[in-house]
């Protein structure tokens, strides 16, 4: 890969034939490409120039959040981005971990692969959603892979969804949750993992559902922090969450736009860093647990997620997953009851939730926890609670 001075970026700077490498007891038959994040300086220079030239719309005085992210909030975010935020710090943090890319059905896939030093470790997929990225899990990787008790150790596979971040933009239609789940199963094969757990929230939960349904003999446990399934005909769904009561119909505006016009909104997302930040950071403000009275995420956490979309130009392609869902709605819930042991972590600030009896129609629920704090991004908001719930669910399944 060319250095930071210019040229194409975010592609592996070296290629290595790993066909003879053995993970566990099974030799790999498909080469993976070692990967490091290395954003060219000219990309960062261009970003700063665009931020300085940002032309923001006027705002009605005193309107607050009624029409979306307030202008003064975005202005402060831009100031911090220009004056205090250092991408190279976070790039180096990502590069602490081994990363690879591989190709499945013509689509590039990126993932972090953290091998625990403990021989008893269990492989575990951690899958993000929108508007997150692999950055969501940075605060839990060490705790999950290198715990004090070796009996809690995991080998971690943390993929970027196709069309998101370092997996690059999608170049063909059809990447719905079930197809993504099948591709992740192929990655497990390439890593030599015969039995593994899956965990996810948001889109990561839907993909994980599908992984468990497609390969029940391979998935030892399914853990999600978002459970959203339809109730039986004639029965009421779970009561609205605090977020749903607060937001009402306005809360689904992003879904309608991305589900019907991802290309149109993509012109904004991939051309204007201020627009991209507003579109994404609004969700970090609205979808986190604010019961403590203040935002629990830092500017660096939010901006690093935004940066992953910006430097890879994947604002538009990430939105396409919402369109894909509308083309294949059957991929959102299992076609048949999933017998894989399933755990659900319910965080009080989550967007939606299902009643346990409704979830049990679709899944073999063996773990149902009610957490005291946290919202839609628990690995970022409450990493301590996230880690403990994942450990507690998988302990009896090892």
Catalytic residues: 202, 322, 376
Residue closest to 131 by CA, chosen among 284, 350, 349: 284
Beta strand 219-224 with 338-346 is: parallel
Taking 3-state DSSP, the helix, strand and coil percentages for the chain, each rounded to the nearest 5, stand at 45, 15, 40
Residues 397/221, Cβ–Cβ less than 8 Å = yes
318-334 burial, b at 16+ Cβ within 10 Å, e below that, comes to bbbbbbbbeeeeebbbb
CA distances from 84 to 278, 320, 363 (A): 18, 32, 46
Beta strand 196-200 with 219-224 is: parallel
Residue closest to 194 by CA, chosen among 212, 214, 222, 219: 219
Half-sphere exposure of residue 234, counting CA atoms within 13 Å on the CB side?
0
Residue 247 corresponds to which tokens in the numbers above? 């937001």
Residue closest to 227 by CA, chosen among 135, 74, 365, 116: 365
Residue 308 corresponds to which tokens in the numbers above? 């992953």
Residues 78/51, Cβ–Cβ less than 8 Å = yes
Residue 348 corresponds to which tokens in the numbers above? 């009080």
CA distances from 345 to 134, 333, 364, 393 (A): 20, 18, 14, 9
Q: How many helices (H) and strands (E) does the chain have?
A: 15, 11
Residue 143 corresponds to which tokens in the numbers above? 């705790």
Residue 285 corresponds to which tokens in the numbers above? 């403000």
How large is the greatest C-alpha to C-alpha distance in the chain, in angstroms? 65
Residues 141/113, Cβ–Cβ less than 8 Å = no
């Amino acid at each position: 890969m060319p250095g930071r001075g210019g040229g194409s970026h975010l592609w592996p700077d070296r290629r290595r034939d790993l066909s003879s490498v053995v993970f566990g007891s099974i030799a790999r038959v498909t080469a993976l490409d070692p990967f490091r994040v290395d954003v060219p300086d000219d990309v960062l220079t261009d970003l700063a120039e665009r931020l300085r030239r940002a032309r923001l719309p006027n705002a009605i005085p005193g309107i607050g959040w009624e029409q979306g992210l307030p202008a003064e909030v975005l202005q402060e975010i831009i100031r911090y981005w220009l004056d205090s935020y250092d991408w190279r710090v976070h790039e180096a943090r990502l590069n602490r971990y081994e990363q690879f890319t591989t190709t499945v059905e013509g689509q590039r896939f990126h993932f972090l692969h953290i091998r625990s030093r403990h021989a008893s470790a269990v492989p575990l997929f951690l899958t993000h959603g929108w508007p997150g990225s692999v950055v969501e899990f940075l605060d839990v990787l060490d705790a999950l892979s290198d715990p004090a008790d070796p009996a809690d150790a995991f080998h971690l596979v943390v993929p970027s969804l196709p069309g998101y971040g370092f997996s690059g933009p999608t170049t063909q239609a059809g990447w719905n949750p079930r197809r993504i789940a099948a591709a992740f199963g192929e990655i497990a094969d390439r890593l030599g993992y015969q039995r593994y757990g899956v965990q996810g929230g948001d889109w990561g939960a839907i993909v994980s559902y599908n992984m468990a349904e497609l390969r029940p003999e391979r998935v030892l446990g399914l853990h999600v922090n978002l459970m959203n399934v339809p109730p039986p005909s004639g029965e009421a769904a779970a009561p609205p969450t605090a977020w749903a009561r607060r937001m009402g119909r306005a809360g689904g505006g992003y879904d309608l736009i991305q589900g019907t016009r991802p290309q149109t909104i993509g012109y904004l997302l991939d051309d204007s860093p201020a627009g991209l930040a507003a579109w994404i950071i609004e969700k970090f403000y609205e979808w986190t647990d604010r019961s403590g009275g203040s935002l629990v995420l830092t500017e660096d956490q939010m901006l690093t997620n935004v940066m992953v979309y910006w430097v890879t130009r994947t604002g538009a392609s990430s939105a396409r997953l919402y369109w894909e869902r509308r083309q294949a709605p059957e991929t959102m819930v299992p076609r048949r009851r999933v017998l894989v042991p399933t755990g659900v972590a319910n965080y009080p600030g989550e967007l939606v939730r299902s009643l346990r009896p409704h979830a049990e129609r679709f899944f073999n629920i063996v773990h149902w926890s009610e957490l005291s704090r946290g919202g839609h991004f628990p690995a970022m908001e409450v990493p301590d609670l996230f880690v403990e719930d994942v450990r507690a669910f998988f302990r009896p399944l090892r």
